[in-house]
Amino acid sequence: MDPENSRRDFLKKSIFLLGGLMAVGVAVPGGTYFLSPLWRKGEEGWLELGEISKILPGEPVKVDYAQRRRDGWATIEEKSSAWVVTDDGKKFTVFDPHCTHLGCPYHWDTAKKKFLCPCHNATFGMDGQVISGPPPRPLDQFTTKVVGGKLLIKPRSGGA
């Protein structure tokens, strides 16, 4: 190869090398930044639902609570609720208040003794199992614990 051709060849390779390095140099921090929501952990604190003595066995009880949490750069206080079921006043099952079908808010039908979702007439038993309708799985539950006579739940991060 004559010297001019090999020089051209060297320059071409250098351009692609340097260009590639710059592309990687921008793409790595940029991509990491862009993808960071994937590995960002949600807030995982325990939330207090209230005194267990106020939750009576038998009927499910809807408990409203206020949750103060970080939402990106803002600190927001949002109101939410949960359905609490207990047989003996010692062990508690707490359901996420959204139907597992499409996320509609369901309620307890006292006459029929079932959870009823108004969107597609789905029904769930007191144990959260699907009785009828389209939901793909039983009602979602929160992890619970009892500390000092108070019921605490751990909301799951992210959607079910």
Partner 1 sequence: MRTLVDWLDERLQIREIKVALFDRKIPKGVGWIYTLGSLSLGIFLLQSVTGILLAMNYSPSPQFAYESVSYITHQVTLGNIVRGLHKWGASAMVLIVTLHMIRVYFMGSYKYPRELSWVVGVFIWLIVMGFGFTGYLLPWDQKGYWATMVGTTIAEQAPLVGPALAKLLRGGDTLGTVTLTRFYAIHVLVLPALVLTLIALHLFFVVRQGISAPPERDKPDGPHA
Partner 2 sequence: MLEPWKQKVRQRYDELKKLGKPFFPYIIFKDTLVIFLAFLVIFYLAAAVGANLEEVANPTDTTYNPRPEWYFLFLFQALKFFPGSLEAVAAIILPAMAILFLVILPFIDRGPKRHPLDRPFFTVLGVVALVGLVSLTIMGMEAPMLNPVIHRDPQVMAGYQLYGQLHCNYCHSIQGRGGNAAPDLGTVGARHDRDWLTRHFRDPNQVTPGSVMPQLNLLPEEIDQLVTYLETLGKSEPFTAAAPKLFSENCGACHVIDGNGGEAGPDLTAIRTYRDKAYLADYIQSPQQHNPETAMPGFKGVLTDRQVEDLSRYILSTQRHHH
- Of the pair 17, 56, the CB lying nearest partner 2 is at 17
Please name every residue paired with 81 in a beta bridge, in sequence order, or none if there are none. Answer: 64
Q: Is 30 in the site for partner 1 (CB under 8 A)?
A: yes
- Of the pair 26, 56, the CB lying nearest partner 1 is at 26
Q: How far apart are CA 141 and CA 84, in angstroms?
A: 10
- Of the pair 18, 147, the CB lying nearest partner 1 is at 18
Q: How far apart are CA 158 and CA 160, in angstroms?
A: 7
Tell me if 38 sits within 8 A of 158, measured CB to CB.
Answer: no
- Of the pair 31, 103, the CB lying nearest partner 1 is at 31
Report how far apart, in Å, the C-alpha atoms of 120 and of each of 28, 83, 109, 133, 157 are.
46, 20, 15, 7, 26
Site string for partner 2, 25-64 (x = CB under 8 A): x-------------------x-------------------
CA-based R_g, the chain, Å? 27
From partner 2, partner 1, none, interface partner of 39 (C-beta below 5 to 8 A by class)? partner 1
Which of 9-17, 31-39, 52-60, 126-134 is the region at the interface with partner 1 (rule: CB under 8 A)? 31-39
